Structure 1
Amino acid sequence: MPNKLRWGVVATGGIADVVTGDLRLLPDVEVLAVSSRALPKAEAFAAKHEIPRAYGDYKDLLADPDVDVVYVATPHVQHHEVTRAALEAGKHVLCEKPATLTLPHLQDVVDLARERGLFFMEAIWSRFNPLTVKLREVVAEGAIGEIRSVRADFGFTLEHDPAHRLWNRALGGGSLFDLGIYPVSFAHMLLGEPETVAAHGSLVDGVDAEVGMLLGYPGGETALLASSLVSPLLSRAAVYGTRGLVELPGMHHAPTAILVNGVEHRAEIEGAGYVPQLREVVARVKAGEVESPSISHAESLAILRTMTKVADQVGLGYD
């Protein structure tokens, strides 16, 4: 394996632009190639980020023998197709969340990655934020006692436009899979997979405009979560224990500060915030590992099981 891992970026949208910028901050990474369905877009993206190779089809990028790792940033509905093709081509994969929209598709790529001995991870970047790491540490140390309840939401108002990917069912739209995955992942990180799931929401054009979720656990613990495209939710989180609480006062998926029993903790955020996640991928690939303990294959499957139950209850279910 070369000293520098050579990455290929599939798609050129907003998230690909930001993550590629952070990729270029890592000294042991070379962003070698990018693809888009429109070659001029790939060429413009390549020029912006000083990427030497641009392709008009992701299959051409996957056929490039010099690409070691593929970052999949396509619309949700294409994640399974592109991830499977990348693994079949012998590439390691970091795929934007949700890694797939259905459990059979996620199990398929997990099984394939393990069979081929290739790294695969769902890009839930919030897990690697230094303050999220700090949160896990203080909880493990018993700073707030036993966790009894978690509250988290993420939402904003987005003008209804059937062509926009978040309002377009054909592109895997809706608040749950794009925004709600953060609160659900947050609850899973702290309490594990729930025993019961209750959800209610509203649909527009076949996708969820908003969802409220109540997750229940065997010991009586609860998680109250929400996502929305029609209300400006505070996007905060709180973890309540028997001896105190941790508050994430703003944008809990990308915190810049947390309060542990009223005491503020801050940390330096590298780049746009994706650097720790990308560094983790590089380290695990170089170590020959197929997954990260911070967001393991089993946990991605558990999160998607919860989200599938929510989707089915609000009438969103994807085939």
Structure 2
Amino acid sequence: MARLAVPGLLAGLATTGLVAVSTGATTTAQSGSSTGASAVPSTTASAPADAVTREQGTSRGGSGRPALTPAAAAQQKAAAKAKAAKAAKAKAAKAAKAEAKKAEAKKATAKAGALPEVDLPSLEVVDTEYTRVDLNVREGADADSDLITVLKSGSKVPVTSTVRGAWQYVAYRGDGGWVRRQYLVESKPQPPAAQKPSSSGSSSSGSGGGLSGAACSAGSSVESGLTPDAIRVHRAICAQFPGVTAYGGVRADSLPEHPSGRALDAMVSSNGLGQQIANWVRANAKQLGVSEVIFAQKIWTVQRGSEGWRGMSDRGSATANHYDHVHVTVYGNAAG
């Protein structure tokens, strides 16, 4: 610090005040007294060195935090990158899930609104056959399919080569339909022969005189458990139609007739023979104690006898539809 000369006009202040001389960052007080008063510390003292260093370090970082080391900075950068990748992956998965859900909904909507595919076989006729019974023609190869028409027994039917299980595709009036193959035959069936009285002189009326009551030559085991009327029917059919050798009697069934012994089944191998038996039993119903006759998907009952043979719904098989047997229900012992 250089000493400065003090002008004379300020000499009077030497004894009462100080003259401050500033050079740089520090100020030194000089006494104007001739007696050499002690120097007084400056009112603006210098900042400690460590505080200056800290301030310089903070201002150098520029963010209010100490600067990261290279290793810490690299680690922080890697963590941020991994976090961003994870977020991107989750976002992509969410988007994919949403797209899949949208596609599934679109597929379901299309399926619900789409018309069913129709597989129409060829109508190319490969042969001609005949119906051996009144035969249903349906739109599909299914007993529950819509009915197109019913072909009379003996009808000529143009058939195709298309077969699905028990069903065959046939041509009908320029269109196609499905029929059960088992009811088609190669040659036209002959109409049932006119009913002839038996050698014992049976007739369609009377009190039962002339109807045979002798044990069946083919065996009487089926009569076990049958009611008197059912036994009477068995022996009469056996005598009148000796070609029939198989019968059904008491058996488990959802309906009460067979389990109670009030029903008999006469098994037949042809539609013509079956119809003859059905007509003959119906004609002698009173003498035999018969209440009901079923054959070839048709039924006749005493209660509605004036209506003749009535059609029945399709039950799906030859046996269920009574094409292979004549079913006879009796009262029990009405003719006894």
TM-score normalised to structure 2 length: 0.21
Structure that is richer in helix per residue: 1
Greater C-alpha radius of gyration: 2
TM-score normalised to structure 1 length: 0.21
Considering Cα pairs closer than 8 Å and 6+ residues apart, tell me whether 1 or 2 has the greater RCO: 1
